[in-house]
Amino acid sequence: MAISNGPLAIGGRSTEDAPALRPGENLSDAEVMLKVKAGDDGAFGYLVQKYRRPMISFMYRMAHNSAAAEDLAQEVFLRVYRSRSSYEASAKFTTWLYRIATNLAMNFTRDTRHERPENQVSLDEPAEEDSAPLDVADRRLTAEQDLLRRERLQQIRKRVQSLPERQRLAVVMHKYQQMDYKQIAEVLKLSESATKSLLFRAYETLREQLKEFV
C-alpha cells in the first residue's frame, strides 16, 4: 500500500489501528523511536505521519517520479521499523532517518540511471519549489510570467539533478528539506566545514548555469 494513500501496514495491520501517543506526552523523536523499539506501534504510526510528506518530497526530488517517490518513502519506513531493535538514540532521529533515505535514494538513482535520459524532466510531472506545486497558478502572474516561472523552475530542477551525487543530496536537504549544515554533515558523515564547501561548490555551479534565469 502506498503511504500517500493511507497508513503504513505493519505486521498485517495498519499503524492507524495502533493507539496514538498519550495526550500531553512531550517526547523527542528519538524518545518516540525508543518506544517503537519497545514494541509501541502507535509511536511508529506517529513518526510515519510526521515524516511521511517530507520523505515523499525528498524522494521525489531524487527520483523525479511520483510513484517511485511514494514507494521509496514507504521502503524507508519499513526499514526504520525492521531496524527498530538495533536503534540507539545516540544521534537525532532525523539523522538516522535521512541516512536510510539517502542510501535508498542513491541506490535508486544508480540503478535507474540508464533507464531515463540524463537531465530529462517530464512536463507531466509536478515541478516544485519549496513544496509549492506549480499546477496551482499564481493569479498575480500574467500567462507569460507564469510560463517563464515554470521554465525557470524546470531548469533549476534539471540543473540540480545534474549535480554530482553528494552535491545534489546536500542541496536537496539544505534547500528543500530545510536542514542546517550540522544535520547534513551528520547524514553524509562529513565535517561541517566539508559540508559547507560541498554546498558552496554546488551553489556556485547552479549560479553559473542558471545566470540567464536569475
Taking only the tens place, the pLDDT of each residue in 106-125 is 999 887 765 554 444 433 34
Q: 164-174 burial, b for 16+ CB within 10 Å, e for fewer?
A: eebbbbbbbbb
Q: Where in the chain is the domain with CATH 1.10.1740.10?
A: 1-115
pLDDT for res 134: 36
65-71 average pLDDT score: 93
Q: Where in the chain is the domain with CATH 1.10.10.10?
A: 140-214
Q: Is the pLDDT of residue 79 over 80?
A: yes
Q: Which has more confidence, 194 or 158?
A: 194
The percent of residues in the chain predicted with pLDDT above 90, rounded, is: 52
Taking only the tens place, the pLDDT of each residue in 127-137 is 444 444 334 44
Give the fold, CATH level 3, of 140-214.
Answer: Arc Repressor Mutant, subunit A (1.10.10)
pLDDT for res 210: 83
Query: What's the whole-number average pLDDT of the chain?
Result: 80
Q: Is the pLDDT of residue 11 over 60?
A: no
The percent of residues in the chain predicted with pLDDT above 70, rounded, is: 74
- What gap in Å lies between CA 56 and CA 43, rounded to an integer? 20
Please give the model's pTM, rounded to 2 decimal places. 0.75
pLDDT for res 16: 56
- What gap in Å lies between CA 44 and CA 136, rounded to an integer? 33
Taking only the tens place, the pLDDT of each residue in 147-191 is 777 777 777 888 888 899 999 999 999 998 999 999 999 999 999
Give the fold, CATH level 3, of 1-115.
Answer: Rna Polymerase Sigma Factor; Chain: A (1.10.1740)
Query: What is the DSSP track for 102-168?
Result: HHHHHHHHHHTTTTS-TT---TTSPPEETTEETTS--TTS-HHHHHHHHHHHHHHHHHHHTS-HHHH
3 state SS of 108: helix
CB 58 within 8 A of CB 177: yes
